[in-house]
Amino acid sequence: MRILLLNEYFPPDTSATANMAQAVVQVLAERHDVSVIAGRPSYDPSEYHRYYWSRIENHGRVRIRRVGSTAFPRHRMTRRVSNYLSYLSLALPAALSTPADLVMTMTDPPIVGLLGAWVAKRRRLPFVYNIRDLYPDMALGGEIVGKGRLAEAWERMHRRALRQATRVIVLGEDMRERIAAKGVDPARIVVVRDGASLGDLAPVDAHPATAAIRQDFRFVALHAGNLGFYGAWPTLIEAARELQEEGVGLVFVGGGAQKSRLETMADGLRSVRFLAFRPAAEIPYVLAAADVHVVTVRRGLEGVVVPSKIYGILAAGRPILAVAPRTSDVARIVEEANCGRVADPDDPASVVAAIRELQANPEALAEMGRRAREKASEFERGRQLQLLRQTIEEAI
């Protein structure tokens, strides 16, 4: 089978979507020929490309065609939109002319699914829609676009693309339910989680990254990852304020659009610290450094974003504090496995109570970590990628 994948980001881009796209392509290429239409690297790339109109890279059964989109740094929205639009305009003719038996898209840029659906319909090919972030719901939730005619038109077109798709691949049950509510046949929606590899567990106190995170805190609640619009940040900061005399530290490792806002909210709090991202090789030590990991989803965004970092935490054998609605995927996993606690994203007192309970029961905390590691085997990345390949094969 000849599979055509549309996604702007692909290594040397370093986004999570780029890395996942590469993993998907590798497992598909074990049996099929895969053509990727990507843009010039622009997401904090590990290497930069000078301008070109088109560039072809062949790697065995994988053919990567990079179109000459703009490659502005992603941190300013106007420039990121330029990257999006230039990619879409150049990807369209490339997608129409690339030999394929099936069209598949991810969600970078946010409207690439609409493009993929149109190309598949015009070429009378099956269409597989792998949704990483749900738009326009995400753009509305993050106040990137406001309610109005533009959002309504986007939603109508997106629903048509969803209904056209032979298979819709989603990241969690909450996203599956949200998409089914848009009128999509549930039988065509398949949950394929990102998962994580089950490597050896890192020692807790054997690396400078661990010491940098723990410092003088007796108990560390760690949020490692992007500080985007989707988190219940005010709730977390108010909880840290309540706990600052109890030796509890709330440590944020990473950056994002909301980081400066969080730093302002936490100004003067000894119990809150912000650290930069650590190199990829140090991630196991970052995961091991926490007594409990915080995973948060703001109310109303369950099923719009699915924090895939939960799988690495489970694989590291660490307990999870899910500051998220109980209907969210992360809360369901935590409660099902009893590998942590769930707190109300609108109630700082519930976060305080959960952390105090966890801190006061080290034996129970260790048992939660053990159950987390057991749960991780259900989401082993290789198994999830095999399920994704099977889903795509069934689509044709």
What are the boundaries of each domain within the chain?
2-195+380-395, 208-379
Q: Hey, what CATH topology would domain 208-379 get?
A: Rossmann fold (3.40.50)
User: Is the Cβ–Cβ distance between 125 and 61 less than 8 Å?
Assistant: no
Looking at residue 345, its pLDDT comes to 97
Alpha-carbon dihedral angle through residues 135, 137, 141, 145, given to the nearest 10 degrees: 70
How far is residue 374 from each of residues 42, 219, 322, measured CA to CA in Å? 38, 24, 18
Strands (E), 158-298: 167-170, 189-191, 219-224, 248-253, 272-275, 292-296
User: Is the Cβ–Cβ distance between 291 and 221 less than 8 Å?
Assistant: yes
> What are the tokens at 395?
């689509």
User: Is the Cβ–Cβ distance between 312 and 300 less than 8 Å?
Assistant: no
User: Is the Cβ–Cβ distance between 183 and 177 less than 8 Å?
Assistant: no
Closest CA to 5 of 30, 28, 32, 37: 37
Angle ∠(175,307,310) on CA atoms, nearest 5? 120
- Please determine whether the domains at 2-195+380-395 and 208-379 fall in the same fold group of CATH: yes
DSSP code at position 143: T
CA gap 345, 326 in Å, rounded: 10
Model pLDDT for residues 170-206, shown as the tens digit of each residue: 999 999 999 999 999 999 999 999 998 887 665 666 6
CA gap 271, 250 in Å, rounded: 6
- Regions of the chain where pLDDT drops below 70: 143, 200-206
Model pLDDT for residues 139-156, shown as the tens digit of each residue: 887 767 778 888 899 999
Q: Tell me, what amino acid is at 3?
A: I
Residue with tokens 């986007």: 154
> What are the tokens at 206?
């054997």
Looking at residue 206, its pLDDT comes to 66
Looking at residue 1, its pLDDT comes to 93
User: Is the Cβ–Cβ distance between 258 and 228 less than 8 Å?
Assistant: yes
Angle ∠(18,123,131) on CA atoms, nearest 5? 30
Beta carbons within 10 angstroms of residue 194's beta carbon: 22
Looking at residue 44, its pLDDT comes to 87
> What are the tokens at 55?
């560039």
Domain 2-195+380-395 coded CATH 1.20.120.160: no
